């Protein structure tokens, strides 16, 4: 089975929840490009690549040039200050990699009790999540 979210749907959700504009575009089968306007710096591009999915954990790598790792570390630190649960959900690893423990999110954990995510990938307009309902595993 597959869940399909268009970039504009995700951009609108982020805008409504966080008040941030984050334009997204296709960067490759497993890569998405995000642009963010930074005061005094202009627009900064970030490429996020899905390196793998293990259960409810997603491993991402990121790139985009000088300063990206610093800004990402600062953003993660700020998120952890605002939400103590983020400390168990997000881990910045060596080599510009990020581990997201989506199953640790109380809003998402019930979903992972019922599905197994196989892959997260992208096309020209959408984010695609391939999954299998757990009832099919029996």
pLDDT tens digits along 11-21: 999 899 888 88
Tokens representing 19 are: 């008040």
pLDDT at 29: 97
Could you tell me the strand order of the sheet in which 57-63 lies? Answer: 24-28, 31-38, 42-54, 57-63, 97-101, 90-93
pLDDT at 3: 93
C-alpha–C-alpha distance, residues 55 and 96, integer Å: 21
Tens-place pLDDT, residues 55-92: 899 999 988 765 677 777 777 788 778 777 777 888 88
Contacts of 7 (CB under 8 A, 6+ apart): 23, 24, 25, 125, 126, 127
Average pLDDT over residues 43-56: 90
pTM for this predicted structure: 0.83
Helix (H) or strand (E) holding 86: helix 86-89
Q: How confident is the model at residue 115 (pLDDT cuts 50, 70, 90)?
A: very high
Tokens representing 41 are: 């710096």
Output the DSSP codes for 1-42.
Answer: -EEEEEHHHHHHHHHHHH-----EEEEETTEEEEEEEETTTE
Instruction: Give the CA count within 13 Å in the CB-facing half-sphere of 79.
Output: 15
Q: CB 103: neighbour CB atoms within 10 A?
A: 17
C-alpha–C-alpha distance, residues 130 and 117, integer Å: 6
Average pLDDT over residues 95-117: 88
Question: 8-17, 59-68, 90-99, 121-130: which has the highest mean pLDDT?
Answer: 121-130
Q: Is the pLDDT score of 138 beyond 70? A: no
């Amino acid at each position: 089975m597959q869940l399909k979210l268009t970039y504009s749907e995700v951009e609108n959700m982020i805008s409504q929840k966080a008040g941030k504009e984050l334009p997204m575009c296709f960067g490759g089968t497993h890569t998405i490009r995000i642009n963010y306007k930074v005061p005094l710096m202009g627009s900064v591009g970030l490429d996020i690549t899905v390196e793998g999915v293990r259960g409810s954990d997603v491993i991402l790598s990121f790139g985009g040039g000088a300063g990206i790792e610093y800004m990402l570390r600062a953003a993660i630190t700020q998120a952890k200050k605002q939400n103590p649960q983020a400390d168990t959900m997000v881990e910045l690893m060596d080599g510009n990699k990020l581990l997201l423990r989506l199953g640790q999110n109380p809003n998402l954990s019930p979903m992972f009790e019922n599905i197994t995510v196989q892959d997260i990938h992208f096309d020209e307009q959408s984010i695609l999540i391939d999954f299998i309902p757990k009832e099919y595993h029996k």
